[in-house]
Amino acid sequence: MNKVIFLERLQRERDKFELLLNQVGFTRQMTMKGVSGGSMSIKDLLADILTREQFISDRLNEVVHGESYSPCTSHSAAFDFEKAYGYPDYESSLYQKEKIDHLVIHKHKNIALDEIVSQELAAYSNIMSSLEKLTHDQCIDHDLYHRIAEHTFRPYRRTSAEIRRWLKSIAAESK
Please choose, from the candidates 156, 14, 127, 123, the residue with its C-alpha nearest in 3D space to the C-alpha of residue 63: 127
Domain count, the chain: 1
Whether 51 contacts 104, CB under 8 Å: yes
Question: Rounded to an integer, what distance in angstroms lies between the CA atom of residue 80 and that of residue 86?
Answer: 10
The CA distances from residue 171 to 3, 146, 174, 175, in Å, are 40, 36, 5, 7
What string of pLDDT tens digits covers the 175 residues of the chain?
Answer: 789 999 999 999 999 999 999 888 765 678 888 887 678 899 999 999 999 999 999 999 999 999 989 999 999 999 999 999 999 999 999 988 777 888 888 899 999 999 999 999 999 999 999 999 999 999 999 999 999 999 999 999 999 999 998 888 877 777 6
d(CA 82, CA 77): 9
Identify the CATH number of the domain in which residue 129 sits: 1.20.120.450
CA distances from 20 to 31, 32, 59, 157, 162 (A): 15, 16, 28, 11, 11
Return the pLDDT at 27: 59
Range of the domain at 153: 3-173
